[in-house]
Structure 1
Amino acid sequence: MSRQKRYWTVVSVILIWLGVLLTGCTLEGWEMAGERSGNASLPSEAEGEGELRVLFLDVGQGASQLLISPSGYTMLIDAGNNDKEDEMLRYLEAYGIRHLDLVIGTHPDADHIGGLDRVIDQLDIGEVYMPKIQSNTKTFESLLTSIRDKGLKVKTAKAGLELTWDEQVQVKMLAPATVTDDNNNMSAVVKVTYRDTSFLLTGDAESESERVMLESGANLRADVLLVGHHGSKSSTTARFLNAVKPKYAIIQVGDNSYGHPTKTILGRLAKQKVEVYRNDLQGTVEIVSDGQGYQIMTER
């Protein structure tokens, strides 16, 4: 290197250090600032602390609920139909979910468990609960295969169970309380209580299961109700609705030929002055509880 080039190199280094000293920074400070900048888009550890998030995912004419506890534990109840498998994985990736502490398949119908096999294949799974009812469909067989291949065992979903999840949140199963060969009335019904707030998630439970729950003396009172069977008139009887007394109702529904949700159920909810949210109209619905009140956000 020539003497002139060495001179300008030394001058450049001196000017850089002068700039550092004048701004009061250090090289260590630059590295720290760079790290903070790189993580600026990531949530802090404290963000969302003390909140329970319940997401009613828009999976069309099907059902799926993703729950994230105040301590960060996760639960997935159902996963939509077979054609929603990739969409379910995208949802979970978008919410940063790589591990599910609890997975509940409410009953063997494809529009509820169709996407669960791929979810179990792709994610780290804790415990799996399903009611003790069989189905000879390929969808059900595929789910059992995924569970077996992952080295998991199915625990029986039934009334009276209190699931271990987050010590701040109570998770109780209220149904099925009796054994029947009807898939819908064997639906796992889950009540989630966080301090003064509560959610009743009913799968496709119909009037017979509702009657048994009422007669069992279980505390059905809940602020948020997942309307049974996508708003079919076979569910959400007036007596059941009177016992739950919800402030908010979620109807997981998409384009369908069944007439869901029916005018009967919408009228019944309106009469009780329940605020209704629907996946077909508002997309994914997220309800955040701080233990005392709710914040409700919709996709559209």
Structure 2
Amino acid sequence: MNARLLPLLALLLATACQEPPAPPAPPPAPPPPAAKRYFAKPADGKLHVYFLDVGAGDAALIVSPEGHTVLIDTGPAASLNYLVNRLPELLATRLDLAILTHPAPDHYGALDAVQKVADMRRLLEPQLPGTAPEYDALLTALGTRGVEIFSPAPNPSHPNEPMRLPLGGGAELTVLWPRAPTEPLLAVEGAGHAANSIVLRLTYGETSVLFMGDARAETEALLLKRQEPLRAMLLKVGAHGAALATSAEFLQEVRPQAALLSLGTGGLPDLPAPDTLARLEAAKATVFRTDKDGEIHAVSDGKQFVLTPQRLPPGKSALTEHVFVPEEEEDPLAVPLVAPSKPEPAKSPPPPARAVALKTRETEDLSRFGQVVDIDQLPKADRTSRQPSKPKATAAMERYVASRKSDVFHVPECRNAKRISPENLITFRTREEAAKERRPARDCNP
């Protein structure tokens, strides 16, 4: 073999013995999807209120028709595990707002855990003096996590107007008390924090809920004196049904169709007080208790509330629903403004306002009940805003009337308008003027 070919042959043999190059690396696998944190269905256009079973404490979750969420109180520390598991089932996204009615451990005990699991954005609390160091430390910790904390103080531009929290879809929360610094706090010996609980009225269409926190009879008397709009279909009973709240005069003004008590099994033996239960019975309010009924789910389509308790007495169908429809707006102490020219024909009595029934709930267009305001705008939302009514042709002598104790207005010829007492009578020259302060009564549809 030619000596000059030997190096070439050796090079060919060496190349043949080398391993083939490795194939190119595959592209990196996509990261696994983030674990789902919230499991509720999207908003269904109805108002949902969950009165949560947190034992000897308070907690209620509001889900607006557009899916915005507000948690009123977080129960005691003992309810931590329950809330950490239950809230993700009821939330479709992180919690928009939490409200602490007052700095009592049975109302804020699980707040720290709730903020972590629900990624709460904002906190409304009354900012009362003389709070415990551990409560102050909790608020400081929340602030370092970026939680925006604000108080229910009236807007300085409108000091006589309450704070309003629009929830979207026509649902709205109004803070009735406290109103510091515009008005001084109530001084109640031994119960200063409870007496200055944040009192809230939730409205949606013709339905409403009154949340009393741990407010006392002194708080109720002040609200009555101020002639606040207290009428509500559902009453979240104050102070867990203690005898020092829920007075007969207060119930006469609220006229609740259902009363909800947050209680714990094996709790304090004097809660609820027999006197309170007797007053609720005299007011003909259907009583629900979390210690017996478990969690209570209330749903409103703007025209009625349907309540479903978690637990039912033996023998009750699992499909049982408690249906409540609004009562006629009346002033029980009123006298006619104008005597009728002739006796009115006898009318058959109206159907009862309370009922327990099996009923199919239907979806309804509720856009007429108010403006849609994103809760993300809180607390900078306009606290005095109202959906303007469409102008209506008016006669030269057109006028409308209302009672100081009611949040609706009527035409003067309306049967209920004639029952308004003179000392409570308010007159509006135009419908537009009336609509700025009140909503139309559904009986005469002014």
TM-score range, shorter chain: 0.7 to 0.9
- Give the aligned residue type for 1:290: D
Q: Counterpart of 1:207? A: 217
Structure 1 unaligned blocks of 5 or more: 1-41
Distance in 2 between residues matched to 1:278 and 1:65, nearest whole Å: 13
Given the alignment, which residue of 197, 203, 222 partners 1:187? 197
- Give the aligned residue type for 1:122: V
Q: Counterpart of 2:103? A: 108
Distance in 2 between residues matched to 1:138 and 1:86, nearest whole Å: 24
Q: How far off its partner does 1:100 sit?
A: 1.3
Given the alignment, which residue of 282, 289, 298 partners 1:271? 282
- Secondary structure at the aligned position of 1:111 is classed as helix
Cα pair 1:68 1:74 within 8 Å, conserved: yes
Q: Counterpart of 1:169? A: 171
Distance in 1 between residues matched to 2:100 and 2:40, nearest whole Å: 30
Structure 1, residues 130-183: CA drift from partner, whole Å, max 9, x if none?
002145435413431332121223211257110132141121001124414601
Given the alignment, which residue of 94, 117, 125 partners 1:130? 125
Q: How far off its partner does 1:44 sit?
A: 6.5
Q: Output the TM-score relative to the length of structure 1.
A: 0.81
- Give the aligned residue type for 2:165: L
- Give the aligned residue type for 2:263: V
Q: Output the TM-score relative to the length of structure 2.
A: 0.55
Count of matched residue pairs: 257
Q: How far off its partner does 1:123 sit?
A: 2.4
More helix by share: 1
Structure 1, residues 231-257: CA drift from partner, whole Å, max 9, x if none?
001110111111100000000011312
Q: Counterpart of 1:74? A: 69
Distance in 1 between residues matched to 2:218 and 2:92, nearest whole Å: 35
Distance in 2 between residues matched to 1:207 and 1:275, nearest whole Å: 21
Cα pair 2:49 2:62 within 8 Å, conserved: yes
Q: Counterpart of 2:229? A: 219
Distance in 1 between residues matched to 2:54 and 2:151, nearest whole Å: 25
Q: Counterpart of 1:93? A: 88
CA RMSD in angstroms comes to 1.8
- Secondary structure at the aligned position of 1:70 is classed as coil
Distance in 1 between residues matched to 2:113 and 2:92, nearest whole Å: 14
Bigger shift: residues 222-231 or 174-183:
174-183
Distance in 2 between residues matched to 1:104 and 1:136, nearest whole Å: 16
Structure 1, residues 30-55: CA drift from partner, whole Å, max 9, x if none?
xxxxxxxxxxxx8765xx62210001
- Secondary structure at the aligned position of 1:192 is classed as strand
Structure ID, larger Rg: 2
- Secondary structure at the aligned position of 2:168 is classed as coil
Q: How far off its partner does 1:274 sit?
A: 0.5
Q: How far off its partner does 1:258 sit?
A: 4.5
Does the C-alpha gap of structure 1 residues 162 and 250 become closer, same or farther in structure 2, counting only changes over 3 Å? same
- 1:241 has 2:236 as partner: no
Higher relative contact order (CA 8 A, sep 6+): 1
Does the C-alpha gap of structure 1 residues 166 and 260 become closer, same or farther in structure 2, counting only changes over 3 Å? same
Structure 2 unaligned blocks of 5 or more: 1-38, 155-161, 312-446
- Give the aligned residue type for 1:294: F
- Give the aligned residue type for 1:281: K
